[in-house]
A = this chain, B = another copy of it.
Amino acid sequence: MAKDKGQRRPKAETPKGFRDYFGHEVGARKAMLDKIAAVYHRYGFDALETSAVETVEALGKFLPDVDRPNEGVFAWEEDGDWLALRYDLTAPLARVAAQYRNDLPSPYRRYAMGPVWRNEKPGPGRFRQFYQCDADTVGAASVAADAEICAMLSDALEEVGIARGDYVIRVNNRKVLNGVMEVAGILDPADPSRFEAERGIVLRAIDKLDRLGVDGVRALLGEGRKDASGDFTKGAGLGVAQIDKILAFVTVNNSVLGRLSEMMSDATQSGAPGTSALSRALYSVFSEDAEPTKPISTDPQASEIRTKITLQVLSELIEDSTVGMEGVAELEEIAALLEAQGYGPDRIIIDPSVVRGLGYYTGPVFEAELTFEITDEKGRPRQFGSVAGGGRYDDLVKRFTGQAVPATGVSIGVDRLLAALAAKGRGTAEAQGPVVVTVMDRTRMAEYMGMVSTLRVAGIRAEMYLGNPKNFGNQLKYADKRQSPVAIIQGEDEAARGVVQVKDLILGAKLAQEASLEEWKAQPAQMEVPLAELVQTVRAIMGRHG
């Protein structure tokens, strides 16, 4: 065969690391984001949609000095400037807050939902374009703004279908962490750039507590650690006294539980066991919450005591650090504000173990974790984990204007939250296909379209089969592929008598699989009705299947 003028055909493929979303996938995400947007709106936040393209300069990446622009973003040159696709929704917000600072209300409260792009090596389940869903308050120094965002995140999670008890929002403060660094001698308030490398290693080590345990973290804080495969990770090189201070912080939740246990024992000894309000409250901490980082008892007294003890233990650890004690005071204020709004520890808890990686946080940090178990690819049960996080970042706008602007915000991992809803069976139901009016007689297409029109006007999703009608089997196969609930059939004979055949495809599929002869007879999957009864018959069948 002669080649098509030597031109090769283009490949029909998405670029590596990109994907398409079909029908129900688009609908499920939209339904979830619409619900979240409604919550954000109720909280007084306004929508913002920035352009997908920013200058590399505004994004804060270094200008590339070679042909290949910076890794991490998709970038291209234009008249000597570099443009790039945004890699998150926070950098564009900082740019907007600076650009429109004279016009925007202050504080400026906005939410944003949309795709972001990362020029990273794609992997299984790792894409280079994905959705983010952020809410931020810019220009509010008060931690009331942080508390509000935690409450809003809680409402949003429940609104989309994560039940109370299936999640917990954990709140910490970067200042507390800095206080720990200070008392451990690896943060010098007079010279913040000293010990930067050590602090980086310490942060990464703390973040691995879940996986490596206390001994693993201890090794990483000291000389280093050899993993199971024999690979050696260099440690922070701290001394024993330094390490002890950091580990005391890392295990602070255990100290809190120990302290509570002592209090309970005191309380029960001083009266009849389990009768005083205090001992009952304390008991409820232990009866409902074996693990320190799970959501705990809804008993308000129990939660108040627990928060108080947590802050007390923290204070004792870092009382020599000014910034650390500032952090404790902020956590105390956040806890009080949340209590006043009824957000107890069954939803939001103060938890000093939350670190969060991003370097730019300067105050409160928070993280929403789903606490139910799912089964991983290998069939093992595991906790679902984090679906959202955020915190205070007071220096982002300063890059543009030179003036510090306090800001705090949260980002929801859209794909992870969708996966969680699917795992809980709480995604929106699989979308139903349209009623398909089949084409028995090609010369009668106008009449078939008339039927379709009647159904649509009645609000029923419907279409006429638009492929080649020759093979009737293909028409029913098409209806099947579309997950159509009903097919309509009208041949010459039916047309002459003014009737149509209405076929219940859901029932038909069920009967075909499992029905006895009696059932076939009792409830036929296909019936003949006058054309005038088309809409009511279709409605009745669709009602039958909910």
Contacts and interface: CB of A to CB of B under 8 A. Distances in A.
Contacts of A85: 52
Interface stretch (A141-149, A210-218, A310-318, A385-393): A141-149
Contacts of A107: 466-467, 478
B446 A336 contact: yes
A468 interface: yes
A464 B144 contact: yes
Interface in A37-94: 41-44, 46-55, 57-58, 60, 69, 74-76, 78, 81, 83, 85, 92
A140 B434 CA distance: 17
A27 interface: yes
Interface in A76-123: 76, 78, 81, 83, 85, 92, 95-96, 98-99, 105-107, 109, 115, 117
Interface string A193-221: 00000000000000000000000000000
A25 B139 CA distance: 23
Interface in A423-471: 431, 433-434, 436, 445-447, 449-450, 452-453, 456, 459-464, 466-468
B75 A46 contact: no
A478 B10 CA distance: 56
B50 A20 contact: yes
B20 A137 contact: no
Interface in A10-26: 10-15, 18-23, 25-26
A33 to B, nearest CB: 10
A340 interface: yes
Most buried by B among A105, A129, A464: A105
A42 B25 CA distance: 18
A15 B51 contact: yes
A9 B402 contact: yes
Contacts of A286: none
Contacts of A401: 9, 12
Best-buried of A10, A69, A141, A339 by chain B (most CB within 10 Å): A10
Contact of A49 (B21, B46, B106, B399): B21
A510 interface: no
A337 interface: yes
A151 interface: yes
A10 B60 contact: yes
Interface in A114-162: 115, 117, 128-129, 137, 139-142, 144-145, 147-148, 151, 155
A539 to B, nearest CB: 14
B42 A449 contact: no
A20 B96 contact: yes
Contacts of A468: 141
Interface centre among A13, A44, A341 (most CB of B within 10 A): A44
A23 B52 contact: no
A160 B9 CA distance: 41
A13 to B, nearest CB: 6
Given A9-B402, A12-B99, A482-B105, A340 B19 contact: no
Given A15-B83, A95-B12, A449 B48 contact: no
Number of copies: 2
Given A11-B58, A74-B76, A52 B467 contact: no
Most buried by B among A52, A96, A459: A52
A448 to B, nearest CB: 8
A357 to B, nearest CB: 24
Given A340-B447, A340-B450, A466-B107, A22 B43 contact: no
Contacts of A109: 463, 466
Contact of A117 (B52, B148, B462): B52
A99 B13 contact: yes
B12 A341 contact: no
Contacts of A189: none
A185 interface: no
In the complex, which of the residues A109, A128, A434, A446 has the most CB atoms of chain B within 10 Å of its own CB atom?
A: A446
A481 B101 CA distance: 13
A20 B49 contact: yes
A342 interface: yes
A26 B48 contact: yes
Nearest to A482: B105
Nearest to A434: B44
Contacts of A46: 22-23, 431
Nearest to A109: B463
A424 B313 CA distance: 64
17 contacts: A11-B58, A12-B96, A13-B99, A15-B54, A15-B81, A22-B48, A42-B460, A42-B461, A43-B434, A43-B461, A52-B85, A53-B74, A145-B466, A337-B446, A340-B450, A341-B452, A342-B450
Interface of A: 4, 9-15, 18-23, 25-27, 30, 41-44, 46-55, 57-58, 60, 69, 74-76, 78, 81, 83, 85, 92, 95-96, 98-99, 105-107, 109, 115, 117, 128-129, 137, 139-142, 144-145, 147-148, 151, 155, 336-337, 339-342, 399-402, 431, 433-434, 436, 445-447, 449-450, 452-453, 456, 459-464, 466-468, 478, 481-482
